[in-house]
Amino acid sequence: MKRSLPLLAAGLACAVLISPQVIRAQTFSDQQKTELGGIIREYLVSHPEVLQEAMAELEKRQTLAEAEKNKTAVKNNAATLFDSSHQVVVGNPQGDVTLVEFFDYNCGYCKRALSDMIDLMKDDGKLRVVLKEFPVLGPGSIEAAQVAVAARMQDKSGKKYLDFHQRLLGGRGPADRAHALAAAKDAGFDMTRIEKDSTSPEVKATIEENMKLAEQLGLNGTPSYVVGNEVVVGAVGLEALKDKVKTARCAVASC
């Protein structure tokens, strides 16, 4: 038993870190278990790189599992995610790749990421962009989102909405109803209709749909994106978004 233990220890060392039941399931005597535990400890202390390798492999597997989970969630919610009647479409409506952004008007990272989305649309004439209000940062965010949905209801083309979106998200100070109404006025919307529509059932349905969709996708922050079948969390920057768009495009056509 002593001769085989070091080899067995090397094989079991990483597994023990993740699942101690591996040893308990074996038919070892108490003396053998004590000896094996000591050898494993000695092996790990002498070869700490094994721990790094084990954690790296664990992280890799978790990342792959999360990616597969996200792909399934995107597939199961594709109709609502990409073609809901409650959403705003900007960029090229007939684009070959769709980028969906979940945002909050009070999100500092969303403000910084605004230029990424604008530059991306300027550089890529085949990109379709869907904007979804995801007000998670308090009452002011909800008020701003309500006005934003009312603006969308008044502008099927998305062009005036995008103007409003840039004014409010790029403006100074916290976003709330007053700031959102001011942005809508500056963008040329019918303010009487905005006031009326902002409390309509359509606004409530839109925000509830976006919240439920975010939950289905496992989103817990803004900005969050869906590009093709991939979920991207955080303000990852222009170049990273370009890479995601390229990957999505290559998945449906040869590059």
| End-to-end CA, the chain | 57
How far apart (Å, rounded) are the C-alpha atoms in residues 217 and 181?
31
Q: What is the pLDDT of residues 136-194, one digit of tens each?
A: 999 999 999 999 999 999 998 999 999 999 999 999 889 999 999 999 999 999 999 99
* Residues 121 and 93: beta-carbon distance below 8 Å: no
How far apart (Å, rounded) are the C-alpha atoms in residues 56 and 52?
6
- For 42-58, give the DSSP string: HHHHH-THHHHHHHHHH
Rounded to two decimals, what is the model's pTM? 0.75
Q: What is the pLDDT of residues 1-37, one digit of tens each?
A: 444 444 444 454 444 444 445 545 557 788 888 888 8
The domain ranges of the chain are: 5-47, 76-252
Q: What is the pLDDT of residues 184-227, one digit of tens each?
A: 999 999 999 999 999 999 999 999 999 999 999 999 899 999 99
Q: Which helix (H) or strand (E) holds 216?
A: helix 201-217
Give the Cβ contact number of residue 223 at 10 Å. Answer: 24
Tokens representing 221 are 């922050």
Superfamily of chain region 76-252: Glutaredoxin (3.40.30.10)
Tokens representing 118 are 């604008």
- Beta partners for 99? 129, 227
Residue type, 75: K
